[in-house]
Structure 1
Amino acid sequence: MALEIMASKLFAPALKSGFLSRPRLTGVLRQSTASKLVLVSAPAGFGKTAFLADCLAQMLDEENALAWLSLDVSDRDPATFWTGVVTALQKAVPGLAAGVMEQLTSSPLPVEQVLITVLQGLASWSEVPDGQRHEKLHGSDSTPESEKESPKHELWLMIDDYHLADNREIATGMVFLLELLPPSVHALISTRADPDLPLSRWRAREELLEIRAADLRFTAEETVEYFNAVHGVDLKAAEAAALSDKTEGWIAALQLAGLSLKGHTDVAGFIGRFTGDDRYILDYLLEEVLAQQPAEIRSFLLHSSVLDRLTGPLCDAVMGGDAVTSGVSGESMLAAMERENLFLIPLDHQRQWYRYHRLFADMLRARLLSEEPELIPQLHERASHWFEGEAMAAEAIGHALAAKNFDRAAHLMEMAATQIRRERRDALFLGWLDELPYEVVRLSPVLTVFRAFSLMAAGELDDVEPHLVEAERTMAAVPQGDDSP
């Protein structure tokens, strides 16, 4: 007996009231008919499903043949997965691959044989005009060759949440299917993680269209339109720009910000305070992202969150013994996390430096503070030593201050004072000095004098002389022959 697929998995979810269609994205899809695969790959909450549903709705108006399949964890079983794919295609193309369903209950599963039958049916469908496709599929096509027309429309197979079913066995069948699709048949896949498919090969052949988080992000203009249409909030341009910057266009964050905004009269003030520890944002990220991760990745995420920028060797240093014990390098971990779309943003084309999405980083830091507050100074201390070894003084000082190791921070500042002064970065140095306890600054003539110079540059002349007097007194108190600073 053939497996059965829940009917609800074959229908796209209805677009919510107030949904904002974005022609800049759907327009790209209309121009992608040379692609075998359109890959929509982005983290949770970037509107992938809604984007696919919007594409489906607009393509229906153009009379394309459309097959939709929503996946869940049960679809990791190959028989269930391919039953769903074939059922979706048969719903879009009646009569396609008749009789293959029984084969999907066989053991061993004849996936390649089933797909050959499906591909033959798709090839027959794509060769004849719309009005004759039904007869062709059922073997009763009597149209003379001279009267046949070229097909006018495309067939799209849309698979939502592919990451829930992705495994090596299913990937093998998907590669076979996608490589042999007729030119008028395309697959559109949404996923939270890049699938186990030869993307680089298809990219080189220009057979792959990629829509990623950077493309799905809301612009400031779209943010204004969204809040006005859905939440009835008339955002000013500056407010929309600030909110877009804080959320980095992350759609789920904008939706949750809309919930948080209810009852607030001070919109600008709310946006200024909006961070990843907002209760709605925090709950979403904890449930949808952090709780789904293996212990090793979860630990890496929390501990590396003390860093504003991440690179493999730096992460190894910060993880310390954990990196040695696990045997997994920071570089390989970052590469895996990028494939998994864990809110990681590359900062260069070589994929050497990354940063976390700002709200995601806020959430991770809030969680780290809640779970392991005693570890935070140690993580910053490790980062400070790594940056010092790389001659990156500003970063080394910043992490020493974050670790509350004020003696180390003062020492690093003394070493960097001449260069900072030469580069005219007085404001930066003055900010560091403000973070040091007065007693630490007072014990260092170098820092005291530098503070005097910085105050002079800032025009605060009344405070210059007391600092110079203090520096002179400290130097006078040092015994002759003592080389300490």
Structure 2
Amino acid sequence: MQPSASAPVRCGLMARSAPLALLRDAGRVTVLSAPPGSGKTMVLRSWIATDDLAGRVAWVSAPRDAQRFWISIADALRGTAAGSALVRPLTPALGLDGWAVVERLLADLAPLREPVWLIIDDMQDLAADALHQVEQVVLRAPPDLRLVLASRHDMRLGLHRLRLEGELTEIRAADLRFTVAEARDLLTGAGVRLSDAALARLHEQTEGWAAGLRLAALSLAGCPDPERSADQFSGGERTVAEYLLAEVLDRQDERARRLLLRTSVLDRVNGELADLLTGGSGGEQILHDLERGGAFVVSLDAYGSWFRYHRLFAELLRRELRRTARDDIPALHAAAATWLVEHDCPAEAVRHMHELPQAPMLPEPLTGSEARVLHYLPTHLTAAEIAQQLHLSVHTVTTHLRHLYAKLGAHRRHEAVDQARALGLLT
């Protein structure tokens, strides 16, 4: 997007009530932070059009070149009705000092007496110096200069004081997710009509992600059987896969990319599991960085211990894993199953056991409790000792052992262990 005094307003913009209400009631500074394709730009354009703010909004996209950035800021502010009489023109010059420009802009804007909104888009592309300079503008700007900082991830800005003073509004991915009703409006606008059940499934699959729903609308428009196509819509769909590859996966370094691909076999991941499946270290920090970086990684608890991937992104990752490292997949499932049994997550362990190539040979799948008992069979622990380890009664453990032997077609403990290993249920 090229820098301009106001964002271009397109026909057919959706006026989404919840995000619009947040922008209308916002404090002096608004941080709009969400992954690519979350609808940040479209919400801002809709807000400008709906509230007729075109003459009062200065909009720039952050280039990496600091001189171009500040010239764009000055030009955009001069393009507003109030700023045109206050902000002096800024021209390119060798050695133009960003800090001097900040002081000049603040001096020019000091007499401002009517609201002007400065939207800085793509903040994640700003160099460190320019980011610190923006922070100074944010903290020292006159009351009638409202700032909207849009980024793919949280920026390291010293805004804690504004938060405490109630001058900071934070809008994140959860605030931008489409509701089911909004998803229906979007699809209807594209000429796509779905039953309530099909719409609910599509909304669940996309998790209300704006780009996912828009790509689904494009895919389903003119489709002879939209209900069936909606049910099959996934991260492997060509347009979705291309978007997620270009905007998310291909932007990661090799360590993060390896972690994402190899842990995609999991329903949820923590640092220890990530290190196990990648054969590396530092998995927890990488997961935190990916979450903060807007890479479709979602924290599942307040402590940031467990994470999951957005459904469409997880499907794309699994497809890429099959394409690039298909032979490694059974070993990843086996390692995950062992770790999950050891950490008292038997139900999840069983799912990975069933993904192993030999698992279908079992006449009947193992239950979670049976999987936990199976983990102790290669040891020399007695049934009573296994019961003590699992906090079960001896009777319960012997019942599980009897069922295990029957399912494995074994009569003795060592036979059950050998058969379980042959089936990939033990490593």
With normalisation by structure 1, the TM-score equals 0.73
Aligned to 2:66: 78
Deviation at 1:415, TM superposition (A): 4.7
1:80 CA displacement = 1.5
Aligned partners of 2:180 and 2:200 also within 8 Å: yes
Cα pair 2:347 2:367 within 8 Å, conserved: no
Instruction: Give the deviation of 1:247 after TM superposition.
Output: 0.6
- Paired residues of 2:66 and 2:130 also in contact (CA < 8 A): yes
Quote the residue 2:48 is aligned against: 56
Q: How does 1:25-424 map to 2 (within 5 A)?
A: 25-32=19-26, 34-35=27-28, 37-60=29-52, 65-71=56-62, 75-92=63-80, 93-98=83-88, 101-102=90-91, 105-107=93-95, 109-126=96-113, 153-164=114-125, 166-229=126-189, 231-320=190-279, 323-324=280-281, 329-404=282-357, 406=359, 414-416=370-372
1:319–1:379 Cα contact (<8 Å) kept: no
Return the alpha-carbon distance in structure 1 between the equivalents of residues 105 and 119 of structure 2: 16
SS of 1:25 mapped into structure 2: helix
How big is the shift at 1:200?
4.4
Change (3 A) 1:276 1:91: same
Unaligned runs of 5+ in 2: 375-400, 417-427
Contact 2:122 2:151 in 1 (8 A): yes
* SS state at 1:76 partner: coil
- Is the Cα–Cα contact under 8 Å of residues 42 and 341 in structure 1 kept in the other structure? yes
Change (3 A) 1:199 1:380: farther
Q: Provide the aligned length of Structure 1 versus Structure 2.
A: 385
Partners of 1:339 and 1:483 lie apart in 2 by 49
Once the two structures are TM-superposed, the CA of residue 297 in structure 1 deviates from its matched residue by 2.0
For structure 1, list consecutive stretches of 5 or more residues without a partner in the other structure. Answer: 1-5, 127-152, 419-443, 452-469
In structure 1, what is the Cα distance between the partners aligned to 2:368 and 2:163? 47
Taking a change above 3 Å as real, the CA distance of residues 233 and 194 of structure 1, as seen in their structure-2 partners, is same
The residue identity in structure 2 corresponding to 1:378 is A
CA RMSD of aligned residues (A): 2.8
Measured in 1, the distance between the counterparts of 2:68 and 2:10 equals 29
Structure 1: distance between partners of 2:160 and 2:284: 20
Structure 1 residues 58 and 17: alpha-carbon distance in aligned structure 2, compared to 1, 3 A threshold: closer
Conserved? CA contact 2:38–2:210, under 8 Å: yes
1:447 to 396, 404, 415: 404
Letter in 1 for 2:59: W
TM-score normalised over the length of structure 2: 0.82
SS in 2 for 1:209: strand
Helix, strand or coil at the partner of 2:341? helix
- Tell me which structure has the larger Cα radius of gyration: 1
CA positional deviation for 1:356: 0.6
Deviation at 1:50, TM superposition (A): 1.2
Q: What does the per-residue CA deviation read over 1:143-199, in whole Å, with 9 as the maximum and x for residues that have no partner? A: xxxxxxxxxx411001122222x2211111011111101122111122112223124
TM superposition shift of 1:15: 3.9
Deviation track 1:218-276 (CA, whole Å, cap 9, x = no partner) reads 100011111112x1223333222221111101111111111221343333322222111
Give the drift of 1:405. Answer: 6.2
